[in-house]
């Protein structure tokens, strides 16, 4: 790994800079500062196209939430800049402002489009196109007008009276301000970002909104690749968040309804998703269920497609001869120690596994720094269950060193898309036990009739079912013929459907199409494995 790069724009010399690039990657909370499946995929894509000059615009929450980079920057990354959405920045001076009523009427009309399920395709883009120029510094809807004008006050109070079901106007006022403040920062980023021949966002959300702004500003193509559905994942986060207020009294609360402010945040991120979908030229999902979810959430069906993840088969298949003849009684969860991975269910499952297989161990291979409080809770549960010698927290581990030592890959997540770790395990000869999330059922049992005929590469159980998770693991580890059949099914499935070369071929076509649109010099993209193609 290269020497750690500064995560601050205060030391720009540590980050590569350029006057332009071919593809600008818009990355929210991922590569290169956060490890995980999406970041690994970004690293894979950049290295898979060494002839493309990539730029990176990293969008994070706050500076202190990130340490040094987790990945070395490949040499074809020519430009990197870092922005934080929730840090203090130079806000305009406070002074009385009347506000432009016509501009606020345009903003109100824009918001009404989100409340209208029957709004026509293109209306959002047209409305945003008219609104964004007014958001530039010194214009009628700039940040100063949003923060301090009489027009903004009138708009917020009118919206509160019309729609808010929470009794606290103070909480409503600050929620609206906090929610919308990053929009002006993104508009400034878009106006100053170096030119690119196309933009590639790896999510909707803030990165997706930035992509929509850049598409509108430059006319260059926007490609969207969603690994998980951003709005779905934000819903999970928001349902679990403790900082969102609910000021209703015990008599006003309805257990079947979420609080107004929680719902407001959910609708905000849904709105960002619709904006990004409408602006994107191509919209990629990892598997069919997610593609259909994108369409339901507003993506134009004709622009959607599926491109599954692919793995470096030669590198991982070389690990198979390193495995012992009998699978080790080691269950390994490979991933970040965060609530969405539901590490607690894995630990609880290990209590049952150890009761039935006393030699078994549970390894947790992933960083603990993203949510240290949750990581400590996981350690406490392991100790409380008497598993301190059986459940081992290993921190980040290299896949190549880990796979030959384990008997099962275990995934206990409450939300996933198409997990690379399962494919990597299959390629290395390790079956899996996983919860029924994302495309896991497809990966374990197969998609269509031909795929399903290959057999099961493990077992799928329900979410938050530690006993069923344990029983599935014990059934595989305790039945050697069944384990070997699952191993063979996984190897064949990944070799047939989930290779890196197949994935690169799909993205090569998308990049080729985008980079050769009018206004960009023609450039042929070579196959990274077969340059003559």
Shared domain for 298 and 335, answered yes or no, is no
Q: What does the pLDDT read at residue 243?
A: 63
Spatial contact of 420 and 485, defined as CB atoms under 8 Å apart:
no
Q: What does the pLDDT read at residue 452?
A: 97
Alpha carbons 494 and 489: distance in angstroms, whole number:
9
Alpha carbons 78 and 74: distance in angstroms, whole number:
9
> For the chain, how big is the Rg over CA atoms in Å?
24
Shared domain for 145 and 288, answered yes or no, is no
pLDDT tens, 482-524? Answer: 999 999 999 999 999 999 999 999 999 999 999 998 765 445 4
Pick the closest to residue 323 from 425, 468, 451, 170 (CA basis).
425
Residue span of the structural domain in which 473 resides: 313-497
What is the length of the chain?
A: 533
Shared domain for 113 and 77, answered yes or no, is no
Spatial contact of 281 and 303, defined as CB atoms under 8 Å apart:
yes
The verdict on residue 254 lying in a domain is no
The verdict on residue 247 lying in a domain is no
Positions of the chain with pLDDT lower than 70, given as ranges: 1-13, 117-121, 231-232, 234-244, 246-257, 519-533
The verdict on residue 137 lying in a domain is yes
pLDDT tens, 198-248? Answer: 999 999 999 999 999 999 999 999 999 998 777 667 666 666 666 667 666
Q: At what angle do helices 500-515 and 37-48 cross, to 10 degrees?
A: 70
User: How many domains, in total, are found in the chain?
Assistant: 3
Q: What does the pLDDT read at residue 241?
A: 67
CATH number at residue 397: 3.40.50.2000
Alpha carbons 385 and 238: distance in angstroms, whole number:
30
Shared domain for 101 and 190, answered yes or no, is no
The verdict on residue 252 lying in a domain is no
Counting DSSP H helices and E strands in the chain, the numbers are 20, 13
What residue has token string 């003849």? Answer: 325
Q: Which residues pair with 198 in a beta bridge?
A: 23
């Amino acid at each position: 790994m290269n020497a750690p790069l500064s995560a601050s724009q205060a030391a720009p010399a540590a980050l590569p800079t350029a006057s332009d690039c071919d593809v600008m990657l818009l990355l929210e909370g991922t590569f290169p500062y956060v490890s995980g499946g999406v970041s690994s995929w970004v690293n894979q894509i950049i290295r898979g196209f060494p002839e493309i000059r990539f730029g990176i615009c990293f969008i994070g929450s706050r500076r202190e939430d990130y340490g040094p980079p987790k990945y070395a920057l490949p040499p074809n990354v020519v430009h990197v800049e870092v922005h934080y959405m929730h840090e203090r920045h130079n806000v305009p001076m406070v002074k009385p402002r009347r506000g432009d009523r016509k501009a606020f009427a345009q903003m109100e009309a824009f918001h009404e489009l989100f409340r209208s399920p029957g709004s026509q395709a293109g209306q959002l883009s047209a409305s945003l196109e008219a609104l964004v120029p007014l958001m530039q510094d010194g214009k009628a809807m700039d940040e100063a007008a949003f923060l301090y004008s009489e027009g903004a006050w009138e708009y917020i109070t009118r919206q509160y009276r019309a729609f808010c079901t929470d009794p606290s106007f103070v909480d409503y006022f600050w929620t609206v301000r906090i929610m919308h403040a990053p929009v002006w920062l993104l508009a400034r980023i878009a106006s100053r970002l170096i030119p690119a021949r196309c933009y590639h966002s790896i999510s909707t959300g803030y990165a997706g909104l930035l992509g929509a702004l850049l598409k509108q500003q430059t006319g260059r193509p926007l490609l969207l690749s969603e690994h998980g559905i951003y709005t779905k994942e934000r819903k999970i986060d928001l349902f679990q968040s403790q900082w969102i207020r609910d000021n209703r009294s015990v008599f006003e609360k309805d257990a079947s309804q979420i609080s107004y402010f929680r719902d407001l945040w959910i609708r905000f991120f849904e709105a960002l998703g619709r904006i990004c979908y409408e602006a994107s030229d191509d919209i990629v999902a990892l598997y069919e269920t997610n593609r259909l979810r994108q369409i339901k959430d507003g993506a134009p069906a004709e622009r959607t497609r599926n491109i599954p993840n692919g793995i470096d088969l030669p590198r991982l298949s070389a690990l198979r001869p390193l495995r012992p003849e009998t699978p080790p009684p080691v269950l390994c969860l490979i991933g970040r120690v965060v609530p969405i991975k539901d590490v607690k269910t894995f630990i609880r499952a290990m209590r049952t596994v150890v009761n039935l297989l006393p030699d078994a161990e549970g390894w947790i291979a992933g960083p603990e720094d993203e949510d240290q409080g949750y990581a400590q809770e996981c350690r406490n549960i392991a100790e409380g269950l008497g598993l301190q010698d059986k459940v081992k927290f290993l921190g980040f581990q290299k896949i190549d060193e880990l796979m030959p030592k384990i008997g099962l890959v275990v995934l206990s997540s409450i939300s996933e898309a198409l997990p690379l770790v399962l494919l990597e395990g299959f390629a290395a000869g390790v079956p899996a036990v996983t919860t029924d999330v994302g495309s896991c059922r497809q990966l374990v049992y197969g998609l269509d009739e031909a795929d399903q005929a290959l057999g099961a590469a493990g077992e799928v159980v329900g979410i938050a079912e530690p006993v069923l998770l344990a029983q599935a693991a014990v059934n595989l580890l305790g039945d050697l013929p069944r384990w070997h059949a699952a191993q063979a099914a996984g190897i064949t499935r990944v070799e047939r459907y989930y290779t890196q070369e197949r994935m690169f071929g799909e993205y090569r076509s998308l990049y080729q199409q985008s980079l050769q649109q009018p206004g960009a010099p023609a450039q042929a993209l070579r196959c990274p494995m077969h340059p003559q193609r």
